[in-house]
Amino acid sequence: MAASRDQLQRLLSVEDADAIGRLLTELKNARMDGEQAAVTLRLLADSRKAQESVPKPQLVWSDLDVRGNRDTSVVAHELFRSAQRYVLVSTYNLGHKRREGEEPGHPLLRPLAERMAQLPKLRVRLFCNLKRMPWQMEANQEQVVADFARWFQAELWPWSRLPELYFDPRSLAPQKEDDAAKATACLHAKCILIDDEQAFVTSANLTTAAQSRNIEAGALLRDVSFAKSLRLQFEALINRNLVCRVPDVHWSQPAER
């Protein structure tokens, strides 16, 4: 069972050779026979191989990238186009104002809408933050949500199939003048989940600025366990009525924002 450092370095890197050398010494001091030591080493090798087979997180970046990392908007579009069964998107800001002559529809959501049209059974849930506009300070929650639904469907999502749209009602809690200094809760998580297989967690909102101009950082993980945990966390919010669904309201004219 004894092996010299030089022998180990012929097969391994210097770092691994040192680690294996220490391990062999420990096994020898534990008075394991050759067969026991071989079984132990095989188990350790299998464990390491399993760890190395799990894809590592990829760094995703927006703007001023000097090291060649993946681009935020490219990753988001690729994820939407790869979906087969389930998509979950969470963002704080959905802001998009189309230019004169530009057709309706959020450009960052268009690939997702196209995928939904291709796959009728694809389920899509979109979580976003709702807030009162200055002219809505006296409006009740139902009025604010209805305005948002009309704006969303007229300006951001004019396509036939709609996603399930959810918001945190705490963001619309009425405030009195003496409560103005208090911060309301907001849905600030920004992530994309695909089929319980891929999860993209990022600082970038679903806005053109965040996807292409701001400095934003994120991580793309191909990890089934993590992706499923993320989905279950959001679904628990639905099941416990901690988030509310925005009703579908088809409207011919966009509401002001």
CB atoms near residue 162 (< 10 Å): 18
Please indicate, yes or no, if residue 252 is contained in any of the structural domains: no
Residue from 174, 193, 176, 173 nearest 235 by CA: 193
Contact status, residue 67 vs residue 166, Cβ threshold 8 Å:
no
pLDDT number for residue 195: 96
pTM, 2 dp: 0.74
Please list the rounded mean pLDDT of every run of 10 residues in the chain (257 residues).
Answer: 54 62 71 68 66 76 75 92 97 83 88 96 96 86 92 91 95 67 79 96 90 89 94 96 86 45
Tokens of 201: 């967690």
Burial, 218: exposed, middle or buried (Cβ in 10 Å; 0-12, 13-18, 19+)? buried
Distance CA 6, CA 12 (A): 10
Q: Is 100 helix (H, G, I), strand (E, B) or coil?
A: coil
237, burial (CB in 10 Å: exposed 0-12, middle 13-18, buried 19+): middle
Tokens 């690939």 correspond to 111
Closest Cα partner for 201 from 228, 227, 170, 240?
227
Supply the pLDDT for residue 12.
Answer: 52
CATH number of residue 133's parent domain: 3.30.870.10
Whether 253 is covered by a domain: the verdict is no
Which residues make beta-bridge pairs with 90?
A: 127, 191
Alpha carbon distance 215, 203 (integer Å)? 9
How far apart are the C-alpha atoms of 145 and 149, rounded to whole Å? 6
Rg of the chain on CA atoms, in Å: 26
Q: Nearest CA to 60 among 78, 75, 79, 81?
A: 75
Domain count, the chain: 2
Are 39 and 128 in a shared domain?
no
Q: How many CA atoms lie within 13 A of 58 on its CB side?
A: 16
Same domain for 46 and 66, yes or no, is no
Residue among 221, 220, 177, 227 at smallest CA distance from 72 = 220
163 within 8 A of 111, measured Cβ to Cβ? no
Q: Give every CB contact of residue 22 below 8 A, 6+ residues apart in sequence.
A: none
Residue 74 lies inside a defined structural domain of this protein: yes
Claim to verify: residue 185 and residue 109 sit in the same structural domain: yes
Contact 74, 225 (CB under 8 A): no
Domain range for residue 144?
58-245
Q: Are residues 235 and 194 in the same domain?
A: yes
Kindly state the helix (H) or strand (E) to which residue 44 belongs, with its residue range: helix 34-53
The rounded distance, in Å, linking the Cα atoms of 74 and 197 is 18
Locate 118 and state its tokens.
């291709």
Confirm whether 255 is domain-assigned.
no
